[in-house]
Structure 1
Amino acid sequence: MRPSRCRSHKRCPSSACSAAASVKPSSKLKQPGIDQGKVTVVMKFGGSSVANAQRMREVADIVCSFPEHLPCIVLSAMGKTTNLLLQAGTEALTTSPSSIRSLQPLRDIKELHRTAANDLRVDGKAHGEMESLLNELQQLLVGISIMQDLTPRALDSLASFGERLSTRMFAAFLRAEGLLAQQYDAWDLGLTSTDDFTNADVLYEPTLEKIAAALAPQDGPLRTIPVVTGFLARGQNTGAITTLGRGGSDLSATVIGAALDLPEVQVWKDVDGVLTSDPRIVDRALPVPMLTYDEATELAFFGAQVLHPQAMQPALQSRRLAVRVKNSYNRRADGTVIVQQRDMANVLMTSIVLKSNVTLLDVVSTRMLGQFGFLSTVFGIFADNKISVDVVATSEISISLTLDPSKMWSRDLIDEELDALVLAFKGVAKASYQRNMSIISLICNVQRTSQILEKVFKVLGSEGINVKMMSQGASKTNISLVVGEEEARPAIAAIHREFFHC
């Protein structure tokens, strides 16, 4: 899907056009999807893409660059709003109820949204809805202050205000520009989840059917653009607001795409698609033109922040839904398209990902060789302690695996919790752990493992880097190497030079 020609240029090359990326939209944008009877594409925009009023204008211009399509727009919160909301919740615990209105994060949120709303000339109705939400937010913070408790349920309610504000503002701006647009909270469309607050799972069976009905083709010559909150749902049993984890707006977009049986969902970020490595580590990282669902899932799980780890699940259910990652600051870049399958004949390495601050746990059986049930016992202990693992390597009497303690325990308790976990193996196995480790994930063509590992270990040997553990994922797209924290970045830079020659 290519955007129409830049309105301010008679000719615009198909490659990245810096002028097009910064052009100011006209005062009245053209309504997209006039000839469409139904939504034809989902376009999701992240927080940096809607960070302020000017960025929202740019997003509106992008939306109208595809006049042949009727989009459903999924938005994240503006800029760092979610972080400010969570900060406000934490500070409310140590602030008196009468002083809540003076909390700096709350003041920053109000100023950001009021300023943007004025700049975008939103109507009185939208202003009123936004002020009502800001008052509701302040009252929630007062309640947190009074109760001296910030529960996961309260955290989700708190975090929801960013998307609820941004979508109301954007829909109102589109209407001010003469476009037909309607705001929806995700639960208005039927997005239903488990009641696992702060990291809920989408319940696909009720959700997909409800979304398809809610966004069914409309009557009339002009079609209304739906503007939907990302990241949010309602719990099936509690009916309370839930969130889908950080980055969950990607998942919201692909759920809607699958529900409507669309050929493509576009996820607009601030990078030119998925890259061969983190540009903060490798300054010459390259865009990857195409990925499979499996590759994208492994990338997300092991640390790449371009997509939510579960965003590919609706695509897997659909089997025809492509996910295209594009740059809202460089709309002419082709981006990365993610599909079910691709030709891997000439693929060696796709991308190199770093996951830092992990712990390596070694567990060795104290019983004789051939003792059955060892692995079952080990993972039973993890289940009892509600601990999930990242990477696993096993032998008959030993197992090595990695944990991400920061996702399980508070920073001050990590050592104590790890010591308690080691004690849980007493009488069954001898356990020990090493902190400050990193996982380097090689997203690659595992059918060519010998060729890949020959090059990797040659590079690591020349750099004097020792691998503590190695594991090959069952998806056949990932080889994981565990190294010391201080060795990880030099290792990634060296491997990247070897495979991508830059």
Structure 2
Amino acid sequence: MIVMKFGGSSVANADRIRHVGRIVQDALPRKPVVVLSAMGDTTDYLLEAAEKALEGTVAFDSIKDLHIKTMTDLGLPSSLNQEIQGLLKDLETLLVGISLIKEISPRTKDYLVSFGERLSVRIGAAYFRSLGFDARAFDAWDVGFVSDSNYTSAEVRKDCWPVIQERIGSLVSQGVVPVVTGFIAKDPQGAITTLGRGGSDLTATIIGAACKAEEVQVWKDVDGILTADPRLVPDAVPVEAVTYEEAAELAYFGAQVLHPRSMQPCSAVGIPVRVKNSYNPSATGTLIVSKLEKRGSLVRAITTKKNVTLVDIVSSRMLGQYGFLAGVFQCFADHRLSVDMVATSEVSISLTLDAPHDLAHLKRDLEKIASVDIKKNKAIVTLIGDVRRSSAILEKAFGVCNQEGVQVQMVSQGASKVNISFIVDNEEAPRIIQALHREFFKGGV
């Protein structure tokens, strides 16, 4: 059994659904389970409809037109039209309610955005049946997904895994291709929840892990994980394989891969995840595994995260004093700020923050114990690879920076031992990424 997850761009319209149908059909000997996201930009359209409803206007023509047109273009039966029209009527009723009470709670928001996936799987499964195989649409809760009640960012309960395994396994053994909604679940009280960032991928990996699948395939619009962002480096190439740890670091430091949270179920039980391109299904893609037996180039991939803030904290009081670092990080905790990178010396700490913040109050509190310098518009450049060979990586990387006339402002080697990151100015990042890619990948991967 394999699990095949297709994102919104892969099922954005009738042509894309036809294409996905051929991919699934080709995979029938491997007993696929299909997970679908909402079509195209449907989730955004639903949120826009909610904003209009809050202003007193009930309008969702873009959603209705997309799904009705797709059914017509695919030549789907009128019986499906009744089911889709029923969901659209429920959506309209919800929007009317929002317009009347002029409020949308997290619970209501989850119910609202669930319509995208619920519409998508019904259209997808109906088209797959027209190709001659027994595909059936399921809302995630129908195959056992139960979550907590943390609306907009719910966690699937681990005790529902055996139920998922039993229900999915039973369907597959009967020759059924289950087509399951990504991103959503129900809490024990029966309220619809959403799984937050990476939610559709998480649905797929939970099914894969619970059912001990041969492989989970996540179909995107690129040929797997690339050596660099192709918008910055047009000759970036796919990486054949990475570890879960490397993939998580790539995602955290800016690469559009899988959210680290979505990889956890498969990582925990050792099920491989393959990132493939629905626009180029013949491409091998990138395999994400627990461990790689052989190591090739020094660096697996290069990524960047722009618009970070660098905070330099200097105090001679640090020297030989216990508890000083605890006091510094308590300030960040008090201001609810999450730190990305950290580097320390005997009398200084340098660290980065992810997004722009008003740091005036933080600076005021920190200045009670140290001198503080805050620098904005910085970029983290991250090298993911064999950090057991960190000296060679650093030698090459800093040689490139020197040649490009770029001053490195901070360096950090992650505790994961798979990344080396350093800070440069925002405007320098593209040039450095391109130069580093030439240096590390000039001979190919």
Whether TM-score is above 0.5 comes out as yes
Aligned length: 443
> Could you tell me how far apart the structure 2 residues matched to 1:219 and 1:71 are?
8
* Alignment partner, residue 127 of structure 1: 81
Q: Is the 8 A contact 1:344 1:445 kept in 2?
A: no
Deviates more, 1:424-433 or 1:111-120: 424-433
Match 1:372 to one of 301, 311, 322: 322
> Could you tell me how far apart the structure 2 residues matched to 1:295 and 1:379 are?
27
Match 2:69 to one of 108, 115, 134: 115
* Alignment partner, residue 65 of structure 1: 26
1:342-361 equivalences in 2 (<5 Å) = 342-361=292-311
> Could you tell me how far apart the structure 1 residues matched to 2:263 and 2:413 are?
21
Match 2:58 to one of 100, 103, 106: 100
> Could you tell me how far apart the structure 1 residues matched to 2:19 and 2:423 are?
42
Relative to structure 1, is the Cα distance of residues 462 and 378 closer, same or farther in structure 2, using a 3 angstrom cutoff? same
Map Cα deviations across residues 456-486 of structure 1 (whole Å, 9 max, x no partner): 1111111111222111111111111121111
Partner SS for 2:424? strand
Partner SS for 1:386? coil
Relative to structure 1, is the Cα distance of residues 500 and 370 closer, same or farther in structure 2, using a 3 angstrom cutoff? same
* Alignment partner, residue 315 of structure 1: 266
* Alignment partner, residue 420 of structure 1: 361
Q: Is the 8 A contact 2:111 2:193 kept in 1?
A: yes
Deviation at 1:168, TM superposition (A): 1.1
1:242 partnered with 2:193? yes
* Alignment partner, residue 225 of structure 1: 177
* Alignment partner, residue 426 of structure 2: 485
1:388-427 equivalences in 2 (<5 Å) = 388-405=338-355, 414-415=357-358, 418-427=359-368
* Alignment partner, residue 6 of structure 1: none
Q: Is the 8 A contact 1:366 1:427 kept in 2?
A: no
> Could you tell me how far apart the structure 1 residues matched to 2:163 and 2:323 are?
45
Relative to structure 1, is the Cα distance of residues 193 and 385 closer, same or farther in structure 2, using a 3 angstrom cutoff? farther
Deviation at 1:372, TM superposition (A): 0.9
Partner SS for 1:64? helix
> Could you tell me how far apart the structure 2 residues matched to 1:493 and 1:271 are?
19
> Could you tell me how far apart the structure 2 residues matched to 1:431 and 1:233 are?
45
> Could you tell me how far apart the structure 1 residues matched to 2:138 and 2:7 are?
17
Q: Which amino acid aligns with 2:280?
A: N
Q: Is the 8 A contact 1:366 1:430 kept in 2?
A: no
Deviation at 1:185, TM superposition (A): 1.4
Unaligned runs of 5+ in 1: 1-39, 407-413
Deviation at 1:487, TM superposition (A): 0.9
Deviation at 1:445, TM superposition (A): 0.9
Match 1:431 to one of 351, 361, 372: 372
Match 1:326 to one of 266, 269, 276: 276
Map Cα deviations across residues 360-418 of structure 1 (whole Å, 9 max, x no partner): 22233473522211222233333333332222222344322222236xxxxxxx33xx2
> Could you tell me how far apart the structure 2 residues matched to 1:235 and 1:392 are?
38
* Alignment partner, residue 302 of structure 1: 253
Q: Which amino acid aligns with 1:175?
A: R
Q: Which amino acid aligns with 1:180?
A: D
RMSD between aligned residues:
2.1
Relative to structure 1, is the Cα distance of residues 245 and 117 closer, same or farther in structure 2, using a 3 angstrom cutoff? same
* Alignment partner, residue 45 of structure 2: 84
* Alignment partner, residue 163 of structure 2: 210
* Alignment partner, residue 282 of structure 1: 233
Runs of at least 4 residues off by over 6 Å:
none
Q: Which amino acid aligns with 2:312?
A: D
> Could you tell me how far apart the structure 2 residues matched to 1:371 and 1:332 are?
59
Relative to structure 1, is the Cα distance of residues 194 and 366 closer, same or farther in structure 2, using a 3 angstrom cutoff? farther
> Could you tell me how far apart the structure 2 residues matched to 1:444 and 1:185 are?
39
Partner SS for 1:456? helix
Q: Identity rate of aligned residues, in percent?
A: 52
Relative to structure 1, is the Cα distance of residues 329 and 440 closer, same or farther in structure 2, using a 3 angstrom cutoff? same
1:195 partnered with 2:149? yes
> Could you tell me how far apart the structure 1 residues matched to 2:371 and 2:190 are?
45
Match 2:409 to one of 453, 457, 468: 468
Match 1:272 to one of 223, 227, 240: 223
Q: Is the 8 A contact 1:366 1:428 kept in 2?
A: no
> Could you tell me how far apart the structure 1 residues matched to 2:20 and 2:186 are?
27
Deviation at 1:49, TM superposition (A): 1.0
* Alignment partner, residue 51 of structure 1: 12
Partner SS for 2:338? coil
Map Cα deviations across residues 75-134 of structure 1 (whole Å, 9 max, x no partner): 1111111222223333433x32xx312xxxx21111111100122233334322222222
